[in-house]
Every structure is written in structure tokens, then in C-alpha cells.
Chains A and B, each alone.
Chain A
């Protein structure tokens, strides 16, 4: 029995996991990272457009601060997020971007003086302040009041991932590559580490840890049409679900990105529209202003994706070999801009479409992009039900994004959550709660159970085809649990997914070798992914309202009276075919920003009975604190500083601050 001991086990070598690992290591603890692939190949590298942080250095960012970022994030979430977490995030994001600057990320910088940009289809001259020269610049993104998205051309995630990954090397943190956590070891409400399969040798080992952190990203690959990398199969969230104890939050909240290229599904950044790109239909007509007079192409992603599909349904799509699509037009930005700031987009267009985006229109259609849901944690990143289990980044639901995430907030979340969870885990390991109390008998039990499962797949008499089950699941999700959802379709999806889950229990495989075996990997992963798919589909079926990215054609209004609550999914019994759902209300009486209109999208929400009273209360506090500074006022509205780890408590300095 091979057992590896460590203080902290981080599952996932993307930005969130790496940053959490660096944090715990710098506090003096032993850390091991597990990664399916070399960490610099993680899907964080594909984040193109940028990361939101309210530095306020640029002309169009001036006046930005945590308050504005917070409000944008809450509106973006359609009031589904945890507002204290949104505060904690908006406060820490400027520190994250500055830390990354010190670690070598070549952030695009402000150039003083006049420059020409494209806004709302027209060329406009902006004047950047001389005192801002050389500070970190920002571009426009959807659903934001200020230009807040810090960027490195359109390779932001790549530059960030390399900087943080190299910091992990500098800290001598071992990364066990091509290793996959396939089960969590736990008993009596305490997580003790994971059973890990080496994807090259096939060997199983037990990794025993005082703190275990899941940072495995999203689960986009349960969909057929997705921008996600092939490794984004959600196995980290699935093994948490399979404990029967840990909960997954808001799994039905799935984001569809407006602009992925047709048919490959590869993302082209929101920065295209942020920098002035337009959406056009078959007639060449710019249609977004017809639907969204305020924000146009730069409404939130859920709204833009829905409007695009609505426009295609109305008969304005471009008919092509691979179905219908619309056009993304960045020709008006000019070759120099595209060569400098949208070069990944240019390469993608060249290689996958054979076009030059400086001259040609880009065929786009919305595709699955992001999982707002994930392992439910508190604001410190610890599982609400399983002690010693932590999660951060897209795999987690501490609930920054609610039912729709703003562009640029996820790559910011990875590092911010990593900073916070690294500290939280170090605190945990240093406390008596972090003491190891695990018997080798328990470890053996888990190892033997997992080995038996794999042996059943390898040598059993099952006859179901894993690849076929995977393909069917992906089609169901894309066809029936997509942008527009309806009760009858969701019922059909849940029913068939349950059948697939039952069938997945008798998979047989042709390649009966224990080592590197892609067929075996598909087999055990599809069993787990079907459970996630059921959490999404069943959660969507039960939620009879529309909120953010979850849109029910048969229940088109946001219903705060009945649904201002978070879905929690558990899987108590391995033999179940459905998750057990529970709901956690969001407390209107404590919100800093009570529910209202987002500033874009529909305006027909059903109010929560407590909203009016809370709004009045806030108005009273605001008038009572009329002369106080914004920090004091904020403290009176919704205190959150107790959630900020000590090293990150200071106030963020900005250009033009009065001392």
C-alpha cells in the first residue's frame, strides 16, 4: 500500500490551485500539487481577455473602486451571489493584480496622452493622464460600469499561469503530473486526502493530507458544444459529491459564452467586443442595440447569448454547413490593434477558420463556457460539511458569481481565491482541527474499494460502451439543458441521464491493460460526470424561475419571492440515480445591494417581500452616514472585513487618493 503524507494536498495545477499552494507553502507547510497535465497546460492558459481589478488607472476607469466592482458583480450574478464574498473579492483583486505584476506578469500599461479607440461603433479619442503613465491599463468588458479588465494582449491567462507556476517552482513545490484524484478519503465529517491514480502507470496511491484542496476547474465537457479544454470534466467536484457528505452549490447555473467560433467551439475573447467589436446578423445588421439599448454588445454574457439565440430563432442567422451562426465583426478595430491586442484571436481565426479577422467576419455562436456552480464552501474556502476539504476557483462555489459570472471575474477569482484559501488552509493546518487522525485501516478500505472499481471495469463482464455513453450525455446536455430551458425538455433530460447512469454501472472495455489506458479513463470518468450532469439538469428542472444564465421559457421571470436561494446537491447513496436537493436562502435583510434591475436584460422580477424594507433601511443608513467616507459607510451597510485574511486587510491605494 503506497501512502504519501503531506500537510496540504492541492488537486489541480491551474491558477487557483497553484496560488493556494504557494500561499500555504510560504506559511511553512509541506504542499503537494496533483495535476492531470503539466501545470502550465492547465485551462487557465486559455483565459484571453483579462482579469478585473478596480485599479482605476485609465481615463475610462477613473473613479473606479471596490464599491463599483462589487455592485457590477452582484448585478451580473442576478442577485444570486453571496454579497460578502463579492466584497471580499472586490477588495482583494487589486492586490492580486499587483502581486502578479511583482511576479513578472507583463500587464499592458497606460500610455499618457491621446489615443484613438472604438466605442459603440465609432472612433473616439481618449486622453490618458500623464500621472497614470506606466501604470497597469484596463480594457472594457461586459456588464461593467468602468474599464476594469487588466490584460496582457489577449494572452492574459497564459502570462498569469506562467508567472504563478514559476513561483511554485521557486518555492520547490512538487507537482505530481499525470496524476488524478479519483476518490476522497473521509470519515465522520473529516476529509483525510485522496486516492490517486497515476495515469501513466495505472498505480493507485493514497495521499494523506491534513488539508485537501480541490481546484480542478469547471465541468464544461459534460456538454457537447463547449469552449472548455478536454480536461475540464469536473472530476474534482464529482469526487466531492461522491463523498455523500460534501455539497455542490447552484449546479444549474451554467454560463454560455456569446462568441465561440463555429464549428470548433473555440473561444474568442470578450475583449473583441470590449475593444469595440460588433455582432452582426445574416443581413450584416448590428442587432444588439435593437434588444439592449443601454449596454448593447456589452451586456452580461447570459443576456448577450440569449439575445443571439433569440435573433437566430427569429430567422436572422447565417445558414452554414454546421448549422446557423452570427458574425463577430472586429474589422473596424484595424490591423494594428488586432496584431497587438487580439493576436491569439488572430491566430485562432487563421488556423481554424482560414480567415483574417482584420478583413473578414468571424462566424460565432454561443457555447457552454463556465460553471458558476461547484463545491459549496464558506467565504474562507472550506467545505460547509466536510472539515479539511477546501475548494477554490471554478471548482468551488463560495458563490462569487451567483447565476452569471462577469467576464474577467473568473481569472481574477482564481488568484484571489488562491490567496485566501492558501491562508485558510495554513490556519487550519496550524490549528488542532488540522491534526491528522486517520487509521491505515481506513486508507486501506478506500484503496481497496477504488482498486475493485477499476478491476471491475477492466476485467468485469460489463458490455456498455463508455464513449457512447459520454457522447449521449453530452448531446442531452447541449440539446436539452442549454441556453433556453423548458420543463418538458428538462424532464426528458433527467430521465434519460438516469438511464445512462444505470447503464454506466455495467461498462465493459476492450483495452484490458492496467497502465496508461485512455478507454479506462473515459469509463470511470463518465460514471462521475453523469452525476454532475444530473445535478445540473435536475437542479434546472426544479428551479421554476429565470435567473442569470438559468433561463426557463416556461418561467421567464426572476422570482425573488420563491427562489432567492442557492441550490445544494448531495449524493448520499452510491446507488442513487438522482441527487438530493436542498435550498439555502439568501438573506435579503443583510444585503448591501438589495435585489433590483440589473441595468440590462428583463425588468420584470417578482420581488422578495423583504426587499422594500431593506432598501428603506439602506437609504436611512446612507443618509445617516452622509458625511462619512465610503469605507465607514460600507462598514455600516454590510461588514465584511472579518472575512479578509490578515495579510490582505489594508486599503488599496489608487492614483489621486487624498491621504
Chain B
């Protein structure tokens, strides 16, 4: 075995900002020594512990599950917690996700945006009858349950929203996250809504017909959701309703 190489010195170039104050946003460089298996979660915490305790960022699960830590990593939306520094150059630029309300530094208000989406698209099962809880559950084909889960894996991290070209032009566009949710509920037989109902929600330029098919969403989704095929599929289904 060769002697271990000297650890790299990394520069994290971070876009600092404090909305509501008179301080102008600026890039600030932090130098740290790279560690074995270092993620951006570890690196940012090290900066906060040792260099600048005021640095704002959001992590929760630090395991790529909760979707809190979306940010622009060298200009590309991604989850910081599971990004290894060894996969990046010696200078790493970090900036907050665009589109979302900025809280400060790398922290943005994805929660408010996603709640708005949930309210607007009514992302819950719509059914008339309350379930009888002690009765045997209604059966479902195993393959269908798995197909629903495939679309249910979205973690609302906001990467698709940040990577969306349409959203730059139409600020009320529902984004891939919204369209994916519609395909998820549309697929679910427990939801009694019809295609006409879904058309009311997304049958316009702020919905499925607004998508310019640039498909940045598909490229940056950390969960690898099939956004490209789902949006195309949904557009065909909604077009059918539109022609009626």
C-alpha cells in the first residue's frame, strides 16, 4: 500500500445573504481540510463549528431521505448531505436554491412552497366514504401498490423546481413535483377524482401544458423519479380531456 496522500485543502465558496437587512449578498470563501468520506454535511458543520457560527443551512436526516438540504452545488441542484467532497474539485461553490423564498445563506423556504402546492393541487386521497377501520382492508394488486410507491418516493426537496426552465418564465407553474403528485393520485384507485377533476387543477399553462420539456427536473431529481415519462403521459391524458 502506498502512503496515504496528503489531504486536500478545500475552498467552499458560499453565497452569503441576510434578507431583511441592508447587507448585500456576497461570496465568501472558507478553507477546510478534506477528511475521509467527507460529505457537504460534514464540511458545512465543520465550518459552522470552527470558522463562522452564524452560517445558515438546513439539514435534518443527513441520510438523503428527508429532502431538507437541497442547494446549488457547483451550480447544479442536489442534496448536500449525500454529496461527497471527493467527487468535487478543490473549490466548491454553494448557493441557495433559486425560486424559493430565501431565509438566509443556504437556507430557503421550501416548506411554504410545498404546502402551497399541496393546497392548490389537493394532494390527498379524495373519497366520499370514511373507512370502516375494523373491517378487512380493500385489496389492491401488488404491482399497482408498487407503481404508486414509485411516484410516492418524491421527497419535496425542490431540486426539480430549482432546475426548471419553465418556472423562470411562469412563476405560478406547478413544477415537476406538482405534476408528479397528480400522476400519483391519478394512478391511485382509492382517489375518486376523475380526469376532468385533475384537468381543473393542471389543465393550463401553469400546469401540464406549460412545461417546455427542457427536463432539467428529470436530470436533477435525487430520487431518480421518472419525471420525463410521467409528464408526457399526463399531458396526453389531459389533452384528451381538453378536446372533449
Chain A residues within CB distance 8 Å of chain B: 37-43, 45-46, 55, 94-95, 97-99, 101-104, 106-111, 133-137, 152-153, 155, 158-159, 162-163, 166-167, 169-170, 175, 177-178, 200, 229-231, 263-264, 266-267, 321-322, 340, 344, 347-348, 351-352, 354, 467, 509-511, 513, 515-519, 522, 647-648, 650-655
A605 to B235, CA, bound (A): 66
Identify B54's interface contact among A94, A519, A654, CB under 8 A: A519
A38 to B58, CA, bound (A): 11
**Interface 9-residue window, one of B108-116, B165-173, B193-201:** B108-116
Q: Are B134 and A652 in contact, with the CB atoms below 8 A?
A: yes
With a CB–CB cut-off of 8 A, which chain A residues contact B119?
Answer: 169
Known contacts being A108-B145, A109-B142, A518-B48, is A651 close to B62, with CB within 8 Å?
A: no
Identify B135's interface contact among A159, A340, A513, A653, CB under 8 A: A653
Q: Does B230 contact A (CB under 8 A)?
A: no
Q: Does B61 contact A (CB under 8 A)?
A: yes
Identify B141's interface contact among A40, A109, A519, A648, CB under 8 A: A109
With a CB–CB cut-off of 8 A, which chain B residues contact A178?
Answer: 103, 111
Q: List 17 A-B contacts (CB under 8 A).
A: A39-B111, A41-B66, A95-B133, A101-B138, A101-B190, A104-B185, A106-B149, A109-B145, A158-B65, A166-B118, A178-B111, A229-B62, A347-B64, A351-B84, A509-B53, A519-B54, A648-B133
Contacting residues of chain B (32-90) with chain A, CB-CB under 8 angstroms: 36-37, 39, 48-49, 53-56, 58-68, 82, 84
Q: Are B53 and A467 in contact, with the CB atoms below 8 A?
A: yes
Between A39, A94, A352, A522, the greatest number of chain B beta carbons within 10 A of the residue's beta carbon is seen for A352
A263 to B39, CA, bound (A): 12
**Interface 9-residue window, one of B8-16, B151-159, B206-214:** B151-159
Identify B104's interface contact among A94, A152, A230, A516, CB under 8 A: A516
Q: Does B27 contact A (CB under 8 A)?
A: no
Q: Are B60 and A266 in contact, with the CB atoms below 8 A?
A: no
With a CB–CB cut-off of 8 A, which chain A residues contact B63?
Answer: 46, 264, 266-267, 348, 352
With a CB–CB cut-off of 8 A, which chain A residues contact B104?
Answer: 200, 516
Q: Are A95 and B37 in contact, with the CB atoms below 8 A?
A: no
A509 to B137, CA, bound (A): 56
A107 to B185, CA, bound (A): 15
Known contacts being A37-B68, A41-B67, A170-B124, is A104 close to B60, with CB within 8 Å?
A: no
With a CB–CB cut-off of 8 A, which chain A residues contact B55?
Answer: 518
With a CB–CB cut-off of 8 A, which chain B residues contact A647?
Answer: 133
With a CB–CB cut-off of 8 A, which chain B residues contact A162?
Answer: 152
Q: Between A and B, how many residue pairs show CB distances below 8 Å?
A: 194
Q: Are A43 and B61 in contact, with the CB atoms below 8 A?
A: yes
Q: Are A134 and B111 in contact, with the CB atoms below 8 A?
A: no
Q: Does B136 contact A (CB under 8 A)?
A: yes
Known contacts being A102-B190, A159-B149, is A38 close to B114, with CB within 8 Å?
A: yes
Q: Are B103 and A230 in contact, with the CB atoms below 8 A?
A: no
Q: Does B148 contact A (CB under 8 A)?
A: yes
Q: Does B188 contact A (CB under 8 A)?
A: yes
Identify B139's interface contact among A102, A109, A152, A650, CB under 8 A: A109
Q: Does B122 contact A (CB under 8 A)?
A: yes
Q: Are A104 and B125 in contact, with the CB atoms below 8 A?
A: yes
A110 to B145, CA, bound (A): 10
With a CB–CB cut-off of 8 A, which chain B residues contact A264?
Answer: 37, 39, 62-63
Q: Are B134 and A95 in contact, with the CB atoms below 8 A?
A: yes
Between B36, B59, B63, B153, the greatest number of chain A beta carbons within 10 A of the residue's beta carbon is seen for B63
With a CB–CB cut-off of 8 A, which chain A residues contact B138?
Answer: 101
- Least Cβ distance of B140 to chain A in Å? 5
Q: Are A177 and B112 in contact, with the CB atoms below 8 A?
A: yes
With a CB–CB cut-off of 8 A, which chain B residues contact A166?
Answer: 118, 123-124
Identify B56's interface contact among A41, A321, A516, CB under 8 A: A516
Q: Does B131 contact A (CB under 8 A)?
A: yes
Q: Are B53 and A99 in contact, with the CB atoms below 8 A?
A: no
Q: Does B191 contact A (CB under 8 A)?
A: yes
- Closest A residue to B104 using CB positions: A516
Chain B residues within CB distance 8 Å of chain A: 20, 36-37, 39, 48-49, 53-56, 58-68, 82, 84, 103-104, 107, 110-112, 114-115, 118-119, 122-125, 127, 130-131, 133-142, 145-146, 148-149, 152-153, 155-156, 185, 188, 190-191
Q: Are A352 and B37 in contact, with the CB atoms below 8 A?
A: yes
Identify A351's interface contact among B54, B64, B112, B190, CB under 8 A: B64
> Sorted from nearest, which 9 A-B pairs have the closest CB atoms?
A134-B139, A38-B111, A102-B131, A519-B53, A95-B133, A650-B134, A106-B148, A351-B82, A166-B124
With a CB–CB cut-off of 8 A, which chain A residues contact B156?
Answer: 38, 40
- Least Cβ distance of A129 to chain B in Å? 12
Q: Are A653 and B136 in contact, with the CB atoms below 8 A?
A: yes
Q: Are A230 and B60 in contact, with the CB atoms below 8 A?
A: yes
Q: Are A109 and B140 in contact, with the CB atoms below 8 A?
A: yes
A134 to B140, CA, bound (A): 5
With a CB–CB cut-off of 8 A, which chain B residues contact A348?
Answer: 63-64
With a CB–CB cut-off of 8 A, which chain B residues contact A510?
Answer: 53-54
With a CB–CB cut-off of 8 A, which chain A residues contact B124?
Answer: 103-104, 163, 166-167, 169-170
Q: Are B125 and A229 in contact, with the CB atoms below 8 A?
A: no
Identify A98's interface contact among B39, B54, B131, B185, CB under 8 A: B131
Identify B153's interface contact among A108, A135, A155, CB under 8 A: A155
Known contacts being A102-B131, A170-B122, A175-B115, is A38 close to B140, with CB within 8 Å?
A: no
Q: Are B111 and A37 in contact, with the CB atoms below 8 A?
A: yes
Q: Are A45 and B125 in contact, with the CB atoms below 8 A?
A: no
With a CB–CB cut-off of 8 A, which chain B residues contact A175?
Answer: 115
Q: Are A263 and B37 in contact, with the CB atoms below 8 A?
A: yes
With a CB–CB cut-off of 8 A, which chain B residues contact A266?
Answer: 62-63
Identify A45's interface contact among B61, B82, B185, CB under 8 A: B61
With a CB–CB cut-off of 8 A, which chain A residues contact B103?
Answer: 178, 200, 516
With a CB–CB cut-off of 8 A, which chain A residues contact B134?
Answer: 94-95, 98, 650-653
Q: Are B111 and A177 in contact, with the CB atoms below 8 A?
A: yes
Known contacts being A37-B68, A229-B62, is A518 close to B152, with CB within 8 Å?
A: no
A46 to B68, CA, bound (A): 13
With a CB–CB cut-off of 8 A, which chain B residues contact A263?
Answer: 37
Given contacts A43-B66, A109-B142, A133-B139, 4 further A-B contacts (CB under 8 A): A41-B111, A46-B63, A136-B137, A230-B62
With a CB–CB cut-off of 8 A, which chain B residues contact A153?
Answer: 146, 149
With a CB–CB cut-off of 8 A, which chain B residues contact A351?
Answer: 64, 82, 84
Q: Are B145 and A107 in contact, with the CB atoms below 8 A?
A: yes
With a CB–CB cut-off of 8 A, which chain B residues contact A169?
Answer: 115, 118-119, 123-124
With a CB–CB cut-off of 8 A, which chain B residues contact A354?
Answer: 84
Q: Are A41 and B68 in contact, with the CB atoms below 8 A?
A: yes
Identify B58's interface contact among A37, A99, A322, A340, CB under 8 A: A37
A136 to B140, CA, bound (A): 8
